[in-house]
Chains A and B, each alone.
Chain A
Amino acid sequence: MSRWVRAVVASMGVLVVCASAWAQMPEGWDRLLGPNRGRPYRGLILDSDTKAPLAGAVVVAMWVRERVYPFQVNTEHYAVRETVTDAEGRFVMEVKDIEAGAPRRTRKPEFLVFLPAYGSFPNGYTAPRGFLAELFEGEGTTMEIPRLTDRQPRLNVLGGASPHNFSKTPGRDLPHLMKAVNAERVSLGFSPYPLPEKD
């Protein structure tokens, strides 16, 4: 092995070490789970017009983790959970079992709020506006979604709320969302997704 090749191989070793170190460094963004991990997420879902609490809204949280390869960082599905708002429009999602043991570089969850014939989050909510970095953390967030009467907006919401966006086996992981989405599909003249799905 020539000196040049040995130098290249050594450099590669250094690069791999450095690369892994870089990849493990926090980005400076707080989208990774932080020290408060495992605390429940809370929220209140209201009708944006009447301000009435909305019972039965499905709230889905999906976690992805950043998978660090020697050559790239990618994201992959880690976990998903759902809950349903109570008669007062409130929900509390316990996630200790998911977040406490989450691998490093697991991101904070992305949320979906879905109720048939309503705007959803993130597609069609009216409040809160602006920065949503800590959605449903701590004391929780009050979210307002509007009632939809026209078909097209409902179709738009339905397209973004597909259970398959959140799980490969939504019939098992997200039965409430599956039920709600199927109800909306039927209401809009579509056939429901088959249950259980083929895993």
Chain B
Amino acid sequence: MRTLCLRLILFLLPISAEAYEVSTHRAMVAASAPRSNVDALLRDDLGFPEGLATSVRGQALANWLTDGGTDEDNFPRFLNHFHNPLASNWSEAGLGGSVGQSAILWAQNPAQSAPSWSWRDVRQAYLDALTKSASSDRDKGLATTFEGLGRQMHLVQDAASPAHTRNDPHILFNYESAIDGLRLREASTFVSWRDRAPDTPGAPDPGWQSLDGNPLAPIAIARLVDADRYTGANPGVTMGALIGLSEYTNANFFSEDRIFTENDVSPQSRFPFPKRSSVVEQDVDVQVGGATVRRRYLVKIADGAIGYRLATVGFLREYHRRFGLDLGRFRETPSLDEAVYRDYAERLVPRAVTYSTALLDYFFRGQLFVSGNDVSMAIRNSSDEPMSGTFTLYYDDAGDTRRPVPGGSWTSALAPGARLTDLRVIAPTSPAPKEPGKYMLVFRGALGTEPDAVVGKQVAIESVLSARLLKRKDGTPIRGAAIQAIDRTTGQPMTVATTDQDGRAQLTWRPGRTVLFIPAVNLFPMYWAGGTSFVSTTEGAHVIQAGDLDPQGQVTIPIPIVDAQWPERTEECSGQPQFAHSPQGFFREGTLRSDGNVDLVTVTYGVNLITFMRDDDGRETILCGSDSGQCKTPAAGFVAEDVNRISQVVGHLVRDILSGHIRQITTPDGAPLGDPVCFNNYAESDVVPVTVFEP
């Protein structure tokens, strides 16, 4: 009952428990964000090229962060923003011991209230931001993530407010209201505090992440606030870089109602430092209402941080001194004036900003790196801590719906720098991705000592296939042949490769958008239409799907290598072809007769013009003319579809052609013996059918 009443009384007191006023928090959170790595991470790892300036749900992510830093003070959350680092137990380190929860426990308490903004809740929001199917839900998750982080940063910043580390439910005007007033009235002074480095270089030492966890608040962020290194007897340790912010603040600063309370009877308000031996008196000229007055201060010279005004001397100091009064019995009541607050802020505001920046970076500390392609992909843990959990690939379809990639999830434990290798990704095609090859890789699991960490990384995974070209007739590899993967949507070639000794070529492709083009295995260009079929345009070409690939990621294409075949007449005099497929042909052959003479056959061929005319569309291809060096085979007029027409007539040779045939008996020396046996000259056109055949 007594405890309940005490809680009620404390609850009803008009304490200004908002620590730094909300506008000060907003300013400090806003200063932390650009100092952190989060802007670069958003741009480089998560696919938000505008970084913190990215507009999500109507405002920039930076604004969601500052909104969180502001709204964390809403009723009645502020009651849980205290942490006494000297409490025997963190469960008793909050306001009034246990009236409010310690800020450390509050930060990790998933049952805060509706909504709850604990670290775990923020993690869940981040997971939603990366994995929710609807883009509006992902946006909500991202906004919630940053708002939640702003709230978490607020809790860290409160540890740089003396009253919040010395269990002081301060009333009326205090350090925080003074700083906010100065922020408004001396903007440049506040900015100089905000942008200053902590008085201990390197604070906080990154080692805080590795300190042993406290079971009450096991996530390492607790150590940013309380590293459990300051015991109440060792204030010097608070000037090291590895120290909790509340420890530094508690040991080196006063709050309004906790001044020289080293001998206080209540353990809730007994703080051993700073103590009287930590200070000396010193006169300092200060400006009051435009006038310069000399005021005596207690300047801190020992026991941790030194060299600043800790408090004014008490108003009754001279009275005490003159009458030799015992300060233990007659309280001196030093106080904190604006000059003291300025000295405090010069040291505490930089720490608040720096420590809350560290928290932000800690949230996004996980690093992933992906290499390889869909046939053999590797995921590397580029973090400084081990990862143990599930790595899942997602993609966005044309409607911005995020979907898990079928089969694209792997559970593994990876030490720092270790890789998960030989992963096969079946690139999704149904529904088709908005941007083929672009994925979001999401890790969920233990990162170091944090059990449910989330890491996101936008990755580009090239889809690679191995195309193997074989001669259909005998299955031998087709070597040195060019092959192209063409994006059917754009018509542009994606990759060009040449087959190796085994007939294989590696090609980058986009599942559901790629066709294969084989320009020169035959004399005519061909698009693969599946099986042993080919077409001459992309229409009708086979769009490669993941299912076309065998387990090795290979697609095998048997190609009929065809040629043209047509009949030739035999000339009766010479016994040779009546016409030759050659513009300037000449033939001579002698046969030794039994009488010792020679039967000499001489043939000359000439061509005015040979064309090949297709039967299906009448298209004519000139094969040679009188000035040609040689004639092309009619197969040059074939089209890809003709390979499916083996033994069929696909067109005709149209020939305007000449030839002369002479048969003459000669002596062995070549002298003619009498008239020719026969001679014929031809100048005519003929038309002969051309058949496709597979040699």
Contacts and interface: CB of A to CB of B under 8 A. Distances in A.
Nearest to A109: B184
B12 A15 contact: yes
Nearest to A7: B5
Interface in A152-199: 155-156, 158-160, 162, 164-165, 185, 189-194, 197-198
Interface stretch (B57-65, B398-406, B411-419, B680-688): B57-65
A180 B668 CA distance: 106
A122 interface: yes
Interface string A6-18: 0010011001100
Contacts of A64: 23
A189 B50 CA distance: 8
Interface string B2-26: 0001001101111111100111001
Contact of A72 (B18, B34, B59, B60): B18
Contact of A25 (B23, B66, B67, B172): B172
A31 B13 contact: no
B12 A5 contact: no
Contacts of A122: 187, 191
B678 interface: no
Given A11-B9, A12-B8, A191-B55, A29 B63 contact: no
Interface stretch (A35-43, A44-52, A53-61, A124-132): A124-132
A74 B187 CA distance: 21
A132 B172 contact: no
Contact of B12 (A16, A189, A190): A16
B185 A165 contact: no
Contacts of A68: 14
Contacts of B11: 71
B396 interface: no
Given A69-B75, A71-B15, A159-B62, A15 B9 contact: yes
A19 interface: yes
A22 B63 CA distance: 34
Interface string B186-213: 1110010000000000000000000000
A97 interface: no
B519 to A, nearest CB: 42
Interface centre among B16, B30, B53 (most CB of A within 10 A): B53
A154 B508 CA distance: 42
B52 interface: yes
Interface residues of A, number: 51
Contacts of A70: 12, 14
Nearest to A8: B5
Contacts of A162: 59-60, 62-63
Nearest to B50: A190
A159 B30 contact: yes
B79 to A, nearest CB: 8
Interface residues of B, number: 47
Contact of A121 (B12, B33, B76, B187): B187
A101 interface: no
Contacts of B76: 71
Contacts of B58: 164, 193-194, 197-198
Given A22-B172, A160-B30, A198-B57, A27 B14 contact: no
B1 A5 contact: yes
Contacts of B21: 75
A114 B181 CA distance: 22
A110 interface: yes
A133 B9 CA distance: 36
Contacts of B14: 19-20, 22-23, 68-73
Contact of B181 (A8, A20, A29): A29
A118 to B, nearest CB: 16
B209 to A, nearest CB: 27
Nearest to B39: A155
B109 interface: no
A165 B17 CA distance: 23
A12 B9 contact: yes
A72 B9 contact: no
A141 B52 CA distance: 33
Nearest to B76: A71
Nearest to B75: A69
A132 B62 contact: no
A65 to B, nearest CB: 12
Contacts of B12: 12, 15-16, 19, 70-71
Contacts of B188: 129
A28 B74 CA distance: 25
Nearest to B52: A159
Contacts of B17: 72
Given A70-B14, A72-B17, A165-B26, A193 B8 contact: no
B173 interface: yes
Interface in B61-118: 62-63, 66-67, 73-76, 78
Contacts of B293: none
A31 B171 CA distance: 18
B177 interface: yes
A142 interface: no
Contacts of A27: 172-173, 177
Given A123-B191, A159-B30, A185-B53, A197 B59 contact: yes
Interface centre among B11, B33, B52, B55 (most CB of A within 10 A): B55
15 contacts: A12-B9, A20-B14, A29-B181, A68-B14, A71-B76, A72-B14, A74-B18, A74-B22, A74-B75, A131-B186, A132-B185, A191-B50, A193-B58, A194-B55, A198-B58
Given A72-B14, A133-B184, A191-B55, 17 more contacts: A8-B5, A8-B9, A64-B23, A71-B14, A73-B18, A75-B22, A121-B187, A122-B187, A155-B53, A156-B34, A159-B30, A159-B53, A160-B30, A162-B60, A162-B62, A185-B53, A194-B58
Interface of A: 5, 8, 11-12, 15-16, 19-20, 22-23, 25, 27-29, 31, 64, 68-75, 110, 121-123, 125, 129-133, 155-156, 158-160, 162, 164-165, 185, 189-194, 197-198
Interface pairs A-B: 9 shortest CB-CB: A122-B187, A19-B14, A164-B59, A197-B58, A164-B63, A23-B14, A8-B5, A133-B185, A190-B50
